Amino acid sequence: MKARIVASVLMTTIILFAAATVLSFSTSQTYAQEVNNCDPSYPDVCISPPPPDLDCNDIPDNDFTVLAPDPHGLDSEGDGIGCES
């Protein structure tokens, strides 16, 4: 009985630690995007929101995640990957 309680407490602690780590990373990434004026549609790279309107030739990055609404239209295929090489 005592071993089951200890195992349960240990598992709960591990789950809470993992959740806190994910939340902390997500929050710090969002804060960095806001401070650097990065559009949240492009979470893997820092691309400024329009204006000006940018095209793939205007940025050095390829094959990055694109989320809706994709204000620059960098995901021409609509598959969630921007400026595919």
- If we measure between CA atoms, which residue out of 33, 70, 67 comes closest to residue 55? 70
What pLDDT, on a 0 to 100 scale, did the predictor assign at position 7? 62
**Residues near 61 by Cβ (< 8 Å), separated by ≥ 6?**
44, 45, 47, 82, 83
Q: Number of helices (H) and strands (E) in the chain: give both, helices first.
A: 1, 2
What pLDDT, on a 0 to 100 scale, did the predictor assign at position 28? 47
pLDDT per residue as tens, the chain (85 positions): 777 775 666 676 666 655 555 544 444 455 555 568 999 999 999 999 999 999 999 999 999 999 999 999 999 999 999 999 8
Question: What's the rounded Cα separation, in Å, for the pair 73 and 41?
Answer: 10
